[in-house]
Structure 1
Amino acid sequence: MRIGLLGTGPWAGMAHAPALNEHPGLDFVGVWGRRPDAAKTLADQFGVRAYDDVDALFADVDAVAVALPPAVQADLAVRAARAGCHLLLDKPLATTVEQGRAVVEAAREAGVASVVFFTTRFVTETAVWINEQAGAGGWFTARAQWLGALFGSDSDSPFADSPWRQEQGALWDVGPHALSVLLPILGDVRRVAAAAPGPGDTVQMVLDHAGGASSSLTLSLSAPAAAAGAGVELRGEYGVTVLPEGTEGAVTALVHAADALIDAARTGEPHACDAAFALRVTEILVEAEALLESNAR
């Protein structure tokens, strides 16, 4: 599968480009970015072509991987799908329902496959655990904490200067990760029962799930480094279980996501983390955002 990369930021350089370059089933063709000089630098690093025209890249590949802010990603994903490119996208798919739905509809109309990179779903240990808990059922409640230190006083993260993260905060950056774990286990969200702000960009949520269980989420990018980390605890008929720590890094997880895209393109069978699933995540986060704004008035 010939694949191109859209994006030249830290995530593109640290994760996407190395994963595309090392995957044995991919032919990494080139890079396009909003900053041509950065695209050339990244392309030169991996010995591929830097494209000035994104449509020219679409014409040369079978698929694209996207490492761009969600609003930019959504618009380009629609164009890529209409050009016949399969889609390896990042979370969140979009921060509006309209943009997310446009991606889903474009992919469906074009008959292209889509996979959205919710990291935990593509790390072997955590993916196995999620599938096991989804199969077990009988869950009464869950607690999820996704705490990042991007905006902490002791942060040295290369993502701290990301304009979209500064604007959208933890709800949109780490909220998708938490939902990607909870939804396959507890079922869809019938309603966001509560959403309240905490320190910094912290958001606390309570969800009512279709399976009858409830879950509580604490999401933040403002935690001190010593408090950062992610955890999920489930309680139900069979006792208590917690999300294991994965040993694989982002590059390996992205290789697994590319495997999933290749398989979905080959078989025509949608992946569990396709654009339609990512749209549902966006819909839930939009509902939580509206509740936060309502409570602030």
Structure 2
Amino acid sequence: MQHASPSDDSLPAPVRVGLVGAGPWARAMHARMLAAGPETTLTAVWARRPEAAQETAAPYGAKVAASFDELLEQCEAVAFAVPPAVQAELAVRAAKAGRPMLLEKPLGPDLASARRVANAVAEHRVVTQLVLTKRYHPRTRDFLARAAGLTVSGARSCYLHGAFLGGDFATSWRLEHGALLDLGPHLLDLLDVAVGPITSIRSSGDPRRWIELTCEHADGAVSQASLSGSVKLERARTRIELFGPGDELVYDTADMDHDECWPVLRREFAAAVRSGTDHPLNAARGLRLQELLAMAEGVSSR
């Protein structure tokens, strides 16, 4: 039996993706992942600093777009690796241009901007997918599948690291908004699925130092979430403990290889684009997470 090779005509052509942004995360993850293929190819990069765009594009032979509009002309789909306020502005334009989007979390810096993105995506019916990194790892998917069969009374969780203390990821928007906006979407997403839909959140502390969230869930369960990007640790710590009348279930990323996430993310994004079918982790999910962030901030979701 003859097996298909990557050059076979029967395989779909790689999705031509344009990357918006040329910061540390764009270089470390987005560009590398999209260029690795075979499901996608990095076609062009646009950033507000042309020299940074050139530095990001050059290793992969990608073009440097002179403007965001030029990037849209050169690609089939757009990936964002920019601060939330910039993404919220440009994602609306990409939706109007009919481009599928790989979006970062949070959708925007606040609920109003996130809602504008989600509304534009719905209006123009474009495919979207969120970079909720851990959701693409087999261990996370196994944890959520096992959690679905549990009765959970309560949960404890944390997402902690020291990246805000200095280095490439101590960026201005992270230092301004803190851990709630940056780390919160990851942990709230997992709790919202593993424990059950979150109905209310009370918060205490300072998101720039340490913030503690108490979440009430639809079935009466209560969960705690500790978030900080300003504590000195050897490595980032993400842990969720589920308790109930049965055995506890623990999710811990201490030895998780995040490089296992990228091929899954890339493959599922390409499949969504080619099929025209939205990924479950889409802009609507991003809006739900932004509503939870607003809840934690004491902001009405109306």
What is the CA-CA distance between 1:284 and the residue it aligns to?
1.0
1:274 maps to which residue? 282
User: CA separation in 2, counterparts of 1:212 and 1:9?
Assistant: 42
Residue of structure 2 equivalent to 1:294: none
Q: State yes or no: 1:185 paired with 2:198.
A: no
Q: What does 1:29-178 align with in structure 2 at a 5 Å threshold?
A: 29-134=43-148, 136-152=149-165, 155=166, 157-160=167-170, 162-178=171-187
**Corresponding residue for residue 216 of structure 1:** 224
User: Gaps spanning 5+ residues in structure 2: where?
Assistant: 1-14
CA distance in structure 2 between the aligned counterparts of 1:142 and 1:205, rounded to whole angstroms: 12
**Alpha-carbon distance between aligned partners in 1 of 2:196 and 2:60, rounded to the nearest angstrom:** 41
Q: Deviations over 1:108-138 (max 9, x none)?
A: 222211111111101121222123212x131
Conserved in 2, the CA contact under 8 Å of 1:205 and 1:218? Answer: yes
For normalisation by structure 2, the TM-score amounts to 0.89
Decide whether aligned partners of structure 1 residues 26 and 237 sit closer, same or farther in structure 2, where only a CA change above 3 A counts.
Answer: same
Structure 1, gaps ≥5 residues long: 292-297
Q: Per-residue displacement from partner, 1:199-236 (whole Å, max 9, x unpaired)?
A: 95210010011132111000001111248411110112
Output the CA distance in 1 between the equivalents of 2:42 and 2:75: 9
Q: Is the 8 A contact 2:100 2:273 kept in 1?
A: yes
Tell me how far apart the structure 1 counterparts of residues 274 and 153 of structure 2 sit (CA, whole Å).
38
Q: Which amino acid aligns with 1:182?
A: L
Q: Which residue of 1 aligns with 2:12?
A: none
Over 6 Å off, 4+ runs? none
Structure 1 residue 100: deviation in Å?
Answer: 0.9
Please give the alpha-carbon distance, in whole angstroms, between the structure 2 residues aligned to 1:259 and 1:95: 28
Q: Deviation of residue 190 (structure 1)?
A: 0.9
Q: C-alpha distance in 1, partners of 2:49/2:186?
A: 28
Q: State how far apart, in whole Å, the 2-side matches of 1:127 and 1:5 are.
A: 27
1:48 deviation in Å?
A: 0.7
Contact 2:207 2:227 in 1 (8 A): no
CA distance in 2, matches of 1:44, 1:6: 15
Larger RCO (CA under 8 A, 6+ residues apart): 1
Q: 1:263 aligns with which of 239, 257, 271?
A: 271
For 2:145 and 2:109, how far apart are their aligned partners in 1? 27
The one-letter amino acid of 2:265's match is: A
Work out whether residues 88 and 258 of structure 1, in 8 Å CA contact, stay in contact via their aligned partners in 2. Answer: no
After superposition, the C-alpha distances for 1:80-105 in whole angstroms (9 at most, x for unaligned) are 11111111011111121111111111
Alignment CA distance shift 1:50-1:185 (3 Å): same
Q: Quick one: structure 1 residues 47 and 148, their matched pair in 2 at CA, closer, same or farther if it must change by over 3 Å? A: same
TM value normalised by structure 1: 0.90
The one-letter code matched in structure 2 to 1:230 is T
Is the 2:78–2:102 contact (alpha carbons within 8 Å) kept by the matching residues of 1?
Answer: yes
- What code does the residue aligned with 1:142 have? A
